[in-house]
Structure 1
């Protein structure tokens, strides 16, 4: 791809140094459709990033766009706090009928602020309120958001340091296979819970990702998740599953914990919930935990009605017949086969993942950044993940076609070869 130097002056002079993604993709994007973005010079990029998992149905999905435009054109409510609106009613009914009831899930639905970290803050706050305890257990390499409560249960040292104050009331435990299978699951965790001299305050809850996205595509085994659920039940701790990035079908089923056959006490959902990239999050919890007082937890933008509209349209279009899950698992098999071939050709390479979230690893941590940079030059958007940015992360739209999947995987293979 022949590149001309874009004019980035207003971004570099006016925008804060905190910007990050734009540094790896130094161009000015102008429009997007499906699995492709186009910059202002007309260059096309295949998107294996999908808005960090916020665009599971692709860019400007026509079904969702039509529903949104129709709603706006009739002057539908756009801002509603927690008022009752027709858009909210339609979403609640659709979410109940398409997602909750078919899975036998009995959850109350809470609308916190519109981002994932808002949903996590609400979950932590509710768990502490219900149990009357302060401590929350999280896991090594976890990522749960950038606000203070969420940072306290996040593992990444760089992100934690940005808080500028002590991050307290969170205790990390080893994630699945953190110790390379050398010790039985939860042996340290359970010993601390049983020993009155351990110094561990009894936790109100445990928060976990079934697949750690930002942490490096670390996949928890179903049996490990079942063991964790059992441990929480035996020790009177609530189980919170953070499904912000891995929910909404990313691993195949709508919720990533379905494969393990567990029913968390609290679930956080965001990112692709709206389906259109509109801010929207939910905190779901068992009815007996609903001890909130009216207005005890609120937020000005928790009633994002346009997001209700696109979310309802996404559920109706993609989650009523079981085809979305089958397609995602099929594309996942396609991806795994390609990654298997890539790693067979390159010493020190490995891969891991589920559904349509995959990570490509190398013994040399710097390789991942080099590969993503070369992929961008070849017209493919990829990001890194992991504490040292050592994992190439593949996160395409769930609606990606087999041909688009092959195109991206071929570019990835080329980028790996050319950066060896």
Structure 2
């Protein structure tokens, strides 16, 4: 624009270059004006409902020179049109314009799609004309929830909702969270996040308990409920452990299960936010985990006579055996004294059966008690003891 000038009647002239043109504006209103909204992304394939709007009352009579006539006094002054498609930019792939809709709360006819656009046409322009707001109802197609990941915790960890601070609370444990899913291909970014907030659970040590945590989301932002199932490694049928869970974690007492390997299955449903016929579910299986509540067995515990090879000490030996898991560590004590760690004969505890050979310091003459305790990796402990005599030295 290279120049702007107005005349005494209120008309404004605009001069442009490249190309050179002159445009005139006002003061009268155009007989018709059109406004097109930006395309709206519903994020999901959606069904379009009723369109509503509100406009302030216009002047009772048109401004002179507006081109209106009494013959059109009963014609609608505002008309709405709606179209839809599955691309962000409206183009030839979109539907045609449906309408006109002349009364607020009219049902639209645009076909289901992910994107929608509306157009308003105002006839017989008058002072004060305008549209304050427009609302178009829509119902996204329901999609099944997604379980993003499952994390089986270490044995003996129990999760619970964040407790009030207390001096006698068990020692807290850091819980393992499920691994975030790897993004592949195209993703859809939601325009707003869910307003629901779930406080993370607190983990504490409690023998015999097993805990599972999971993460899940729903593209419709529906409220979700969960169920937990289990099955043994060589079993085919899933058994219900707990249903109607709102939180995304569950701890259970494994002492009700036989020792062995198990799998868990998490089932998520959006039933709380949908009619029964429209509700959808999804499920995901956990990695393998083991249950072991049986302590290891100590076999063949012996203490021999003092030996010169051991500087007057006593050789001792035993075998530790566990039916389910590997031996973790072993200790011995003489006459109720301090527990002393002892290593297996091969130097590393990594098998269900370990043999131990060790020496006891020289003891005074008389009866003595040798006690051993053995732990597996589930903190089950097996114990045994024997008595042995140290003869008095000859005069």
TM bracket (short chain): under 0.3
Report which of the two has the higher share of helix: 1
Query: Greater relative contact order (Cα 8 A, min sep 6): structure 1 or 2?
Result: 1
Q: TM-score, normalised by structure 2?
A: 0.18
Highest CA radius of gyration, 1 or 2?
2
Give TM-score, length-normalised by structure 1.
0.17
**Higher strand proportion:** 2
